[in-house]
Amino acid sequence: MRPAERVKIIEWISTIAAVALLALLVNAMLA
């Protein structure tokens, strides 16, 4: 696997993690 591909995967994971955290935060506020 090329380094560029690994960077892209890390970017994807961090983006998904940020969205998941945001969803949890909104969920906690609405609960």
Q: How many whole angstroms from its chain centre is CA 16?
A: 2
CA dihedral 17, 22, 28, 29 (to 10 degrees): 170
| Alpha carbons 7 and 21: distance in angstroms, whole number | 21
The single residue listed with the structure tokens 């949890």 is 24
pLDDT (tens digit, 9 = 90+) per residue, 2-28? Answer: 889 999 999 999 999 999 999 999 999
So what's the pLDDT on residue 31? Answer: 84
The single residue listed with the structure tokens 């970017």 is 11
CA dihedral 7, 13, 16, 22 (to 10 degrees): -100
